[in-house]
C-alpha cells in the first residue's frame, strides 16, 4: 500500500494564454507535461497580422530579401521567382525535416511547439495568423509530431526538430495522436478538424529558426533540478544522521561567513531536517572523539548550495530567452525586415552544459555518502554493506555499484557540448552552438542524478533503522515510513534489489521524498 504524502510543492497553471508577454517556466512545463490547454491572445493575433502585412508588401519587391525572395543558407544569393516562393517555403520545411534516430520524448516536442508559438505570437516573424493558430490547435488536440534525436546543431535554430513540427502543421509526415498511436499527420489533423496550413512567403523560415528545442529541455530540466536539489538535502541529512555525523557544521553563523545564497539555503534545510533527532543527541557527549566529519558529509551545503546558485543563473538565462523573439530575418517593431544572428544557441548551450556539471557533482557527493555506509571501517558500528548476515548476505553492496556506474556516466555527460563546432551549409554556417546536444545529455544527466539520490535514500533509510532503538529525526523518519509504505522492506536477508531501487527512483522523481520530509519541516528551500 502506498503511503499518502503531500503533492510536489510546485503547482502548475491549468491553462496558458500565449501572446500577453513572455511565458513563465511553469506554463511551459504545464503544457509539456500536463497538456494544459493553450489560447492565442487577441493582442497576439493583431501583432501577427501586422507583421504579416509587412512581409506581403515585400513579396513583390524586385530587391532580394532573405527567406522571402532568395534561397537559404549558402543559397542566399539565389533569386526565387514570385510564382515559386510558396513552393520555396514548403521545400524548406520538407528538406529540413531530415532528423534521424529515436523519437524525442513527447514532453520535449510539446515544449518546443509551445515556445515556437510564443515567438510567432510576438509579431516579429511575419507568419499568417492561421499558422500560429495551427500550432495552438495541434497542442490542444494532443497531436505530437515525430521528432528524431539527431538533426540540430543548435544554430540557425533547432532546424530539423522544428522542421518536423512545421511539417505536421502542413499535414505531412508522421505524428502521435492523443492516444499515442503513430499515424499520418493528414489523418490526425482531419480527425481533429484542423486544416493543414498552406505556407506563404517567409513562413517556412519563421517556423524553423529558433532555439525552442534546447530552451524547452532547459526549462524542463530546471523544473526537475529544483526538486532534486531539495531531495539531495533530504538524502544528505539522512546520511549525516545515519553515520553519526554532526549538524553543528550547518549552523547559520558559519555559513554567513561565506555568503553564497544557495549554501545558506542548503544548510538551513539540513538543520530543519535533522532537528529533534534522538540519534544525533545520542552522541552529543564528551565521549564522542570525532573532531569533524568527512567532506562528503560536512561539505554537503557547499556542494548543494553551489548547485542551487548555478541553477539560479541558468534560470536567469532561460527567462531572457523566454522573452526573446528568435527568427532570421526578423520583423522589427518599426517595420524593417533585418537579418541577424539571434538564432545562435550559445547562451542556452552554455548553461545546459553547466547544469550537466552540477548533476554530475551532486550525484558524486551522494555516491560518496552512500559508500561510507557500506564500509565497516567508516560506518561507525553498522554491519558491513548493511547486510543482515555479512558473508552470506551482500546487503547493499551492488546498489552502490549501480550508483558508481551512473556517476561515471554522468562524468562523461558533463563534458561540454558547446565547445564543439562543425561547419555546415558550405561554410556559411561556420560556427554552431551544439545546444541541442547539450540539452539531450542534460536530460540523461537529470535522470542519472535522480537514480543516484534514490539509492542514497534507500541506503540511509536502512542504516537509520539499524540504529534502533535510537530513532531518527521526525523529518527523516517520515521518509523511512514513506519507503516502507511504498513496499520497500526494511533490513533483512538478501532479496532482489532492483524493484526496491526503482520504487525509490519513482518516489524521488515524483517529489514524494521531498514532500514526506516537508510534512514535518514545512517547505524546503
Compute the CA torsion angle 211, 213, 214, 216 (nearest 10 deg).
Answer: 110
The helix/strand/coil state of 333 is coil
- Of the candidates 295, 266, 277, the residue with the CA atom closest to the CA atom of residue 241: 277
Query: Kind of pairing, strands 330-331 and 337-338?
Result: antiparallel
Do residues 64 and 79 touch, judged by C-beta distance below 8 A?
Answer: yes
Contacts with 180 (C-beta within 8 Å, 6 or more apart), sequence order:
none
Upper half-sphere CA count for residue 102 (Cβ side, 13 Å): 4
Q: What are phi and psi of 305, to 5 degrees?
A: -70, -40
Cell of 449: 542524478
Q: Each residue of 268-305: b (16+ CB within 10 Å) or e?
A: bbbbbbbeebebbeeeeeeeeeeeebeebbbbbbbbbb
Q: How far apart are CA 386 and CA 389, in angstroms?
A: 9
Strand boundaries in 67-188, DSSP class E:
100-103, 144-145, 148-150, 174-176, 182-184
Q: How far apart are CA 64 and CA 451, in angstroms?
A: 54
Bridge partners for 369 per DSSP: none
Q: Judge whether 66 counts as a catalytic residue.
A: yes
**DSSP collapsed to 3 states, 266-318:** HHHHHHHHHCCCHHHHHCCCCCCCCCCCCHHHHCHHHHHHHHHHHHHHHHHHH
Q: Which CA distances in Å does 450 have to 54, 121, 226, 301, 506?
A: 49, 36, 12, 18, 9
- Residue 329 preceded by cis peptide, ω within 30: yes
Q: How far apart are CA 296 and CA 366, in angstroms?
A: 8
Running DSSP on this structure, what letter comes out for residue 4?
P
Q: Which of 66, 150, 350, 401 is catalytic?
A: 66
Q: How far apart are CA 190 and CA 202, in angstroms?
A: 26
Query: Kind of pairing, strands 16-18 and 148-150?
Result: unpaired
Q: How far apart are CA 375 and CA 361, in angstroms?
A: 22
Q: Which of the residues are catalytic?
A: 66
Amino acid at each position: 500500500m502506498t503511503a499518502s504524502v503531500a503533492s510536489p510543492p510546485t503547482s502548475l497553471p491549468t491553462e496558458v494564454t500565449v501572446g500577453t508577454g513572455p511565458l513563465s517556466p511553469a506554463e511551459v512545463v504545464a503544457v509539456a507535461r500536463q497538456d494544459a490547454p493553450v489560447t492565442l491572445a487577441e493582442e497576439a493575433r493583431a501583432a501577427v497580422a501586422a507583421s504579416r502585412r509587412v512581409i506581403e508588401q515585400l513579396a513583390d519587391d524586385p530587391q532580394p530579401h532573405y527567406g522571402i525572395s532568395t534561397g537559404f543558407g549558402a543559397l542566399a544569393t539565389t533569386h526565387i521567382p514570385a510564382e515559386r516562393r510558396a513552393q520555396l517555403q514548403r521545400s524548406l520545411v520538407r528538406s529540413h525535416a531530415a532528423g534521424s534516430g529515436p523519437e524525442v520524448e513527447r514532453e520535449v516536442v510539446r515544449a518546443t511547439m509551445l515556445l515556437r508559438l510564443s515567438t510567432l505570437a510576438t509579431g516579429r516573424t511575419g507568419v499568417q495568423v492561421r499558422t500560429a493558430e495551427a500550432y495552438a490547435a495541434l497542442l490542444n488536440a494532443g497531436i505530437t509530431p515525430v521528432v528524431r534525436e539527431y538533426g540540430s546543431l543548435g544554430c540557425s535554430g533547432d532546424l530539423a526538430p522544428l522542421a518536423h513540427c512545421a511539417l505536421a502543421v502542413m499535414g505531412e509526415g508522421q505524428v502521435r495522436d492523443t492516444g499515442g498511436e503513430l499515424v499520418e499527420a493528414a489523418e490526425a489533423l482531419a480527425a481533429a478538424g484542423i486544416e493543414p496550413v498552406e505556407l506563404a512567403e517567409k513562413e517556412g523560415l519563421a517556423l524553423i529558426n529558433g532555439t525552442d528545442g534546447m530552451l524547452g529541455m532547459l526549462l524542463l530540466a530546471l523544473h526537475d533540478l529544483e526538486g532534486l536539489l531539495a531531495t539531495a538535502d533530504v538524502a544528505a541529512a539522512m546520511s549525516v544522521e545515519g553515520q553519526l555525523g554532526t549538524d553543528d557544521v550547518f549552523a547559520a553563523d558559519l555559513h554567513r561567513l561565506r555568503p553564497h545564497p544557495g549554501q545558506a539555503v542548503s544548510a538551513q534545510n539540513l538543520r530543519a531536517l535533522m532537528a529533534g533527532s534522538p540519534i544525533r543527541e545520542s552522541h552529543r557527549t564528551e565521549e564522542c572523539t570525532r573532531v569533524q566529519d568527512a567532506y562528503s558529509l560536512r561539505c554537503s551545503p557547499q556542494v548543494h548550495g553551489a548547485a542551487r546558485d548555478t541553477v539560479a543563473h541558468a534560470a536567469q538565462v532561460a527567462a531572457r530567452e523566454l522573452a526573446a523573439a528568435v527568427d532570421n530575418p526578423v520583423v522589427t517593431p518599426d517595420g524593417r525586415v533585418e537579418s541577424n544572428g539571434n538564432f545562435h544557441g550559445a547562451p542556452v548551450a552554455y548553461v545546459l552544459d553547466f547544469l550537466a556539471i552540477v548533476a554530475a557533482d551532486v550525484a558524486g557527493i551522494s555516491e560518496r555518502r552512500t559508500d561510507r555506509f557500506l564500509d565497516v571501517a567508516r560506518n561507525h558500528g553498522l554491519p558491513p554493506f548493511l547486510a543482515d548476515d555479512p558473508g552470506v548476505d551482500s546487503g547493499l553492496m551492488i546498489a552502490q555499484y549501480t550508483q558508481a556506474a551512473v556517476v561515471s556516466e554522468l562524468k562523461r555527460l558533463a563534458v561540454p557540448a558547446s565547445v564543439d563546432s562543425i561547419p555546415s551549409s558550405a561554410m556559411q554556417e561556420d560556427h554552431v552552438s551544439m545546444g541541442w546536444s547539450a540539452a539531450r545529455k542534460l536530460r540523461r544527466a537529470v535522470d542519472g542524478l535522480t537514480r543516484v539520490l534514490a539509492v542514497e535514500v534507500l541506503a540511509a533509510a536502512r542504516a537509520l533503522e539499524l540504529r534502533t532503538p535510537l530513532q531518527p529525526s521526525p523529518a527523516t523518519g517520515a521518509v523511512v515510513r514513506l519507503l516502507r509504505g511504498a513496499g520497500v522492506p526494511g533490513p533483512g536477508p538478501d532479496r532482489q534489489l532492483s524493484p526496491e531501487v526503482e520504487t525509490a527512483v519513482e518516489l524521488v522523481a515524483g517529489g514524494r521524498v521531498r514532500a514526506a520530509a516537508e510534512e514535518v519541516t514545512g517547505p524546503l528551500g
